[in-house]
Amino acid sequence: MDALSTLLEKLKKGAKSRGQLLGLLNVLIGRKITAKDGSVVSNGLTWRQLAGLLKKVRWDAEQVTELGLVADDLPPRDRQRFWYAAILRAHVDSAEAARAGDKFAELLRKQGYEVGPPPA
């Protein structure tokens, strides 16, 4: 999971991931990500694992507005519960999320990662 944390830290610092939260969630939950050297970065995460990872890397909570959510409407004290609730409300299994995931996968490919296809 260290490689995935490193990837998220890199994405967090770069401005290219702004406006891509739905795609990010879709890719991290349902797709395999490999690095240039062929090492596996992620085989997909559960919602709980992803929520914990977003808490760990201190992902900007205000980005939930990209999902049409209001940060103040989500659990305020526990960031893992906050992110879990955001993922739940994001409809990461929708056709819109799959399209956003494809767009985000292309962004990752430009950064040297290979992203697998969405689940059928």
**pLDDT above 90: percentage of residues in the chain:** 79
| Domain of 102, in residue numbers | 2-115
Q: How many domains does the chain contain in total?
A: 1
Residue 16 pLDDT > 90: no
pLDDT score, position 1 = 62
Q: What is the mean pLDDT of the segment spanning 30-35?
A: 94
Q: Using 50, 70 and 90 to split pLDDT, how confident is the model at 94?
A: very high
Residue 120 resides in a domain: no
The answer to the question of residue 51 being in a domain is yes
Whether 71 maps to a domain, the answer reads yes
Which three-class secondary structure string do you get for the chain?
A: CHHHHHHHHHHHHCHHHCCCHHHHHHHHHHCCEECCCCCEEECCCCHHHHHHHHHHCCCCHHHHHHHCCCHHHCCCCCHHHHHHHHHHHHCCCCHHHHHHHHHHHHHHHHCCCEECCCCC
- The residue among 46, 43, 54 whose CA lies nearest residue 115 is 43
Residues 6+ apart with CB under 8 A from 48: 80, 84
Q: Is the pLDDT of residue 12 over 90?
A: no
Rounded mean pLDDT of the chain?
92
pTM for this one? 0.91
- pLDDT-based confidence at 17, cuts 50/70/90? confident
Q: Answer whether residue 24 shows pLDDT above 70.
A: yes
In this predicted model, what pLDDT tens digit does every residue of 53-82 receive, in sequence order? 999 999 999 999 999 999 999 998 899 999
Classify residue 77: in a domain, yes or no.
Answer: yes
